[in-house]
A and B are shown apart, each in its own frame.
Chain A
């Protein structure tokens, strides 16, 4: 049983007993999938989550046994895969901002969402959030979403993205500042914000 064993122990043991790695999968797959699902469409999220564990298994020999929690390592692999889909993510966010409907939403989830009065406020600002996420630098968005959606600390984000903690701090500061400015920018029209977000998106799409 793997329920009480730290990830590091399971990964080390999987060197001689590959099946031990299944404990890491069982513990983290659903959560990683959910994180990816908030960033890309369902099919891609499923593929990337599956691929992350296959790659992690192949690279388990390089895992540092000093790191008890495998989440930063797994999310780091997932982000390397996700990097190939930054452009698609930006486009989907821009489409969300433009049309007010989330292209990633499942049909049933969209219905449930529209019926939930308590989340009407969030729905009203979702398009604005999509705008600023689309316009944000990809690397800043990675840091922000690991912080907000994966509940990672600065140190864990640093480990996942292989960047210094100071860089995590500065990127997060910049991303939050953009987010804060947008949320409070009541004087700006949605159209202007959309145009701004799309302008950034198009510019980057041609320079990638």
Chain B
């Protein structure tokens, strides 16, 4: 048997696409075709959630694969796009994973994250500042000006699905996306949400205010990219107006909101998180936070590099008719002095 015959048998047992995978690929192509259908008026984005009516229509089966603009006009029947921009949630999540995988690990006794948040569902509709020091085997500290926690000591512990894990347990999580996703699924069952939303929420919880290693961060982004239905919100911005990749898992028919993650695909940095309300994505989230700075320090009085001296002005969506009362709060025009 020669080397090419052996090679031709290598992985020859791999199966072809499933019907769902074929359907998803076809739906992505059909969505691209729809952009250039002759005579069809082009839809111009009018806001952050402009894509929702489209997504609810013919593209619903695309399972998170959305096609971006394709330009075809002019005297010839076809004009290729100069630079096709085809982005899906899976692509940007994998890009973030790739960025994370090439980074060096940080070190310190504490991981500190400073963020700014709005919490209208709890009546806190002005921006507040929160700084959390998470200790590696030691007590940390929480300074939350919105909740009045002025340097409260906190025990070691990080959110993990329904429970809490320690820093060292976090570092012992698998860094291969498959086994990691299995762990995440185990920790996410029976939390009251559909499993995929719960898994996504667990991933968000592990990424936000958390001392993930680059390998774990990469695995978390890859795990998120594998969740069925994970969706990218085009042209999104975080709470303080930074351009961000925003991904979330659309709610099912139950209409429960889920979590959204804002991140920078080129650096893998988490920029913020939000808790969505119901199925109307035009409604302001119930809660939203933007990470101002994060990093490793050796005392609970040190701040991470790049921590700003004051809060940033926030960009908050206006509620539209029909939004739940808990989501209709509007923040002040400028941040509150802390």
Q: A residues engaging B (CB < 8 A)?
A: 14-16, 18-19, 21-22, 25, 29-30, 33-34, 37-38, 41, 43-44, 46-47, 49-51, 53-55, 57-62, 84, 87, 102-106, 109, 112-113, 119, 121-122, 125-126, 129-130, 144, 147-149, 176, 179-180, 183
Chain A residues with CB under 8 Å of B77's CB are 15-16
Cross-chain contact B28 with A53 (CB below 8 angstroms): yes
Known: A15-B78, A44-B94, A112-B13. A129 touches B6 (CB 8 A): yes
A18 to B29, CA, bound (A): 10
* 9 tightest A-B CB contacts, nearest first: A61-B78, A15-B78, A15-B77, A50-B25, A61-B80, A58-B84, A18-B33, A179-B3, A38-B11
Cross-chain contact B8 with A148 (CB below 8 angstroms): yes
Chain B residues with CB under 8 Å of A119's CB are 9, 13
CB contact between B29 and one of A15, A54, A84 (< 8 Å): that residue: A54
A-B residue pairs in contact (CB < 8 Å), sample of 18: A14-B78, A15-B78, A22-B29, A22-B30, A29-B17, A33-B16, A47-B65, A47-B91, A50-B21, A50-B25, A51-B88, A54-B65, A55-B86, A60-B80, A87-B101, A102-B11, A113-B13, A149-B7
Q: B residues engaging A (CB < 8 A)?
A: 1-4, 6-17, 21-22, 24-26, 28-30, 32-33, 36-38, 65, 67, 70, 72, 76-81, 84, 86, 88, 90-91, 94, 98, 101, 176, 178, 225-226
A51 to B84, CA, bound (A): 11
CB closest chain-A residue, reference B10: A129
CB contact between B11 and one of A60, A87, A104 (< 8 Å): that residue: A104
Known: A33-B21, A60-B80, A148-B7. A38 touches B29 (CB 8 A): no
The prevalent SS among residues of B at the interface is loop
A149 to B2, CA, bound (A): 15
Cross-chain contact B25 with A53 (CB below 8 angstroms): yes
CB contact between A149 and one of B8, B28, B225 (< 8 Å): that residue: B8
The prevalent SS among residues of A at the interface is helix
Tally inter-chain residue pairs, CB-CB below 8 A: 152
Cross-chain contact B6 with A125 (CB below 8 angstroms): yes
Cross-chain contact B13 with A54 (CB below 8 angstroms): no
Cross-chain contact A106 with B3 (CB below 8 angstroms): no
Chain A residues with CB under 8 Å of B24's CB are 46, 50
Known: A22-B29, A50-B24, A58-B32. A43 touches B90 (CB 8 A): yes
CB closest chain-B residue, reference A39: B11
CB contact between B13 and one of A59, A109, A148, A179 (< 8 Å): that residue: A109
Chain A residues with CB under 8 Å of B84's CB are 54-55, 58-59
Chain A residues with CB under 8 Å of B11's CB are 37-38, 102, 104-105
CB closest chain-A residue, reference B64: A47
Cross-chain contact B17 with A46 (CB below 8 angstroms): yes
Cross-chain contact B33 with A109 (CB below 8 angstroms): no
Chain A residues with CB under 8 Å of B226's CB are 43
Cross-chain contact B21 with A46 (CB below 8 angstroms): yes
CB closest chain-A residue, reference B81: A58
Shortest beta-carbon distance, B13 to chain A, in Å? 5
Among A51, A54, A129, A130, which residue has the most Cβ atoms of chain B within 10 A? A54
Chain B residues with CB under 8 Å of A21's CB are 29, 33
CB contact between A179 and one of B7, B9, B30 (< 8 Å): that residue: B7
A180 to B8, CA, bound (A): 14
Shortest beta-carbon distance, A204 to chain B, in Å? 13
Chain B residues with CB under 8 Å of A129's CB are 6-7, 10
